[in-house]
Structure 1
């Protein structure tokens, strides 16, 4: 090994060690319930690698210059460069893994009397919307039921960043393969990569994604005065977490992104259900179900009972005010929270 290569290897090892220490500081500093376990970490990694692979395939098909040896290295190279996190893919993959895990646990622990298939509306005028939701849900699972993250389910800005990052990685690999001929081909490679990104992004239809489909159904139910407690409880019982998020978002009048992270935490869910004015009986059953399937406390049933009591004491207008803080500009909202935490 040449001396310069040895220095480069030592620097890379030092950077990797520092990154590992930063990750340990972040994760060990969390309370146990917030730490990543092996299942979540492994599943999120598989989801992220699959998404990167799909993007790579699309870009290589759109631009032959991006195709060639070494493309299997793209997920590893992006991760080592910190680009998986910067694109938002790491967070999106973990959120999808968490959602799948919660959905599976809810389906196994169904305690509602609602039919197991979930709350598809009986009104034939809503059949198209209900079918679109089923199709979007099916697209998020592979043939054996493991979770997928379709490209149209990524936030637009994250998807945009991811495509450019993968294109850059493929272009870098392509230029490295050219060796001494690299200088004369660099401009053409970059133009080809840019054109491939533009073409492939333009072909993705956000309307086919789970967010658009579930919100269309939830809004139609609201228009028909049918977005009732039973439909919401049925979505939870059937483990249809995305549909549940859309129903609660529409009923509360907030963005669906603010609701998704709420559903898996019994305390946050209790506040949201109060803001949505759910009946005490149905809300209590939902809070208990989530507390039991998550089991973040040593005695989840006792913790659920305390949350249900607090739910009853919390005025609806106070709950609505708290939930609707999510409408505020994020930096402003974060500053308010930091100020409120001061002694």
Structure 2
């Protein structure tokens, strides 16, 4: 009788498989691991603890960062990188062993990026983008304020909301402002000095009279500072609509006319608006007139350009306001106020 034993054969097969696969395996030595680690080491970025524009120096930035000494107590050398926003920080512009630096003679009111690394002469320097800090420098002391605008508050006793911005969005030190107003109708000149503030957007409410014209300038309280302006504004007459605007819908060949409503006393009674439409810029041509109860109207005409103006009238016709200044618009999207007067004011 013959007996067959399968176990040795299985062991032999397994051994043969290991022998065939063993040449494909790789082994990393300790020295190789160390070499690989050294290659990935190099200058490391340092967190910036504080960054600010010093008082009184609008075009300087103070940078403070943290750092440690090497085991042998030798000071590390740091590289300070900076550049305008979106500039690539490739090379340090300042090297120091201190933990802070003051960078001067930058451009005013400009966005800068800053970063700090520990320098290593034997390695390529790379900045970690997560440690980059951004700051906007301050304004020049003599710089004029910006974005001067006015808005009318229609009331029984109207007011002008005079709005402006600081010379730079970064207000380093509290700044005072001077509001200068000339009433061109009465030739009276008024100056208002406002307290210092660190706000970047400001407003001053000025009581005015209907029908008067004003010339407005704004400057800071710093001696010799420049002013923004003049901005000229004429307050509308009583009951007169204002801020007439026209937008164009080129797809529908339509004009959207809208305006701001005046202050209307309750004693006036019921009223409506009249919209006058002139062909092109010819204010002496026959006009079309439309009646609306709300400060908006859509107009479609046969030609591609028109001039529009609006006034207010009561149902009993005892009160009819002056018309707004005419606004020209065409289907190409051009819109602007006409510097023109009516030889015959419509519907008076």
TM-score surpassing 0.5? no
**More helix per residue: 1 or 2?**
1
**More strand per residue: 1 or 2?**
2
